[in-house]
Copies of this chain bind each other. A is one copy, B any other.
Amino acid sequence: MNDSRVQASTQKLLELLEELGAYTASGPGVTRLLYTKEWRQAQIFLQQKMVGFGLKVTTDKVGNVYGRLCGRSPEEMVILTGSHIDTVVNGGKYDGAYGIAAAMVALQDLQMNYGQPKRTLEVVSFCEEEGSRFPIAYWGSGHVTERYDGSEAATCKDADGISLQAAMEEFSFLQGVTEGNGARNDIGAFVELHIEQGIILEKTDTQIGVVQGIVGQRRYMVKVSGAANHAGTTPMLMRQDALASAVEMLYVLEGAAKLAGEPLVATSGKLEVHPNTPNVIPGEVLFTLDIRHIEEDDLECFCAKLFSRYYEITAERGVTLEVTPVLHTLPAPMDTKLSTALENICRQQGKTYRTMVSGAGHDAQLFAPRCPTAMIFVPSRSGISHSPEEYTSPKQLAAGLEVLTAMLYELAY
């Protein structure tokens, strides 16, 4: 495309992002939780825009919105691209929204420049990915890929006690809802464009991240029980200090994670002490572990060694340990052929790029086991996301759009 066309596409993209960002609950940044008024308005806005972009709009029963550009060979599998419309509380305007807006602009550009594609192209705005309102994540892509069948909605409740089922029934759409529970078996490839949500691209001054895979995650709740006691009258060697025990465990965690090296990351983000009084030796400590790696074997090995060491610490200190797994997602490797194609596109377009791992979860990881899947990252300023401070410059956004457009062209034309 020539410069003026690129400029016009970037302009369209920025406008779409601004318009989407306006659908938010009050407070700083963007708050668009699943099945809320602002969420519904954003999905309706997208439906209207898609119609304007010449796309055929459909919706499924959970509220995923699709815009279809029909191909000349309807018997061939669909090329799907997009991301999620929901946000965290006080999030930014790029996480999720960028992948949808860029996909819409790409489809319009492709149609304008090259006419009808051979294979059908579809943009999708998944209803939910973050798990911010209900304690369930990937509600949108999880329906498309048959992780969920909808039966989960009856028991899953938000902080106000509203069930996912009740919240879902409250909304209705402008356009016709498709039959079934939203599952699709006609997807031939999925491509997701997203902000990095990390600092690597910025730090290395790179325009594009070609994602090789999304890490597997394990989350645990660890409970250490010792004996609460008087901080003044209990000698150091007669203590069963739950916090001192947890401290040793977390010190071991960090050391082991640094030793393991990239791409392993290990974090304790939440820790609570009981009774939490300055002059009482803690009797109980609860803390979370979040451990991620791109190789399931490495993850398994790291966790096994870690907990084996934890049980040693427990025995040495006369405290007790309870480890509860709360999440276990497998690593999701991206399609090698698509990744290579993305690298070639970057080279052809003269863009700096690097292959990398995604440490964050994305809708793409649900598609990876079912069809060739690819992910493209653009930089996040200071690595910040899930914050009103989230920012990617227009130039960086435009670079991602160009790569996505070229990839979709290769797949569908």
Contacts and interface: CB of A to CB of B under 8 A. Distances in A.
Interface of A: 196-200, 203, 215, 217, 219, 229-238, 241, 243-244, 247-248, 250-251, 254, 257-258, 262-273, 276-282, 288, 290, 292, 358-361, 383-386
Contact of A243 (B196, B230, B262, B271): B271
A99 to B, nearest CB: 16
Contacts of A262: 235-236
Q: Within the oligomer, what is the number of copies of this chain? A: 2
Given A244-B250, A244-B254, A278-B288, A265 B232 contact: yes
A247 B244 contact: no
A294 to B, nearest CB: 11
A197 B281 CA distance: 13
Contact of A270 (B199, B229, B258, B273): B273
Which 7 pairs show the lowest CB-CB distances between chains A and B? Answer: A198-B233, A232-B359, A231-B267, A278-B288, A233-B359, A232-B360, A247-B250
B359 A200 contact: no
A271 B266 contact: no
Contacts of A196: 233
Contact of A271 (B232, B273, B280, B360): B273
Contact of A237 (B238, B258, B279): B258
A233 B269 contact: no
A275 B27 CA distance: 17
A271 B203 CA distance: 33
A383 B231 CA distance: 11
A24 to B, nearest CB: 20
A235 B200 contact: yes
Contact of A247 (B229, B254, B263): B254
Given A247-B247, A269-B276, A383-B229, A234 B281 contact: no
B361 A232 contact: yes
Given A238-B199, A254-B244, A269-B278, A290 B231 contact: yes
A199 B278 contact: no
A360 B233 contact: yes
A233 B278 contact: no
Given A243-B250, A267-B279, A269-B273, 12 more contacts: A199-B238, A217-B232, A230-B385, A233-B383, A235-B265, A236-B254, A236-B264, A236-B265, A247-B247, A248-B254, A269-B282, A270-B277
B281 A230 contact: no
A273 B268 CA distance: 10
B278 A219 contact: yes
A280 B203 CA distance: 20
B267 A233 contact: no
Given A232-B360, A271-B273, A251 B248 contact: yes
A41 to B, nearest CB: 27
A290 B282 CA distance: 12
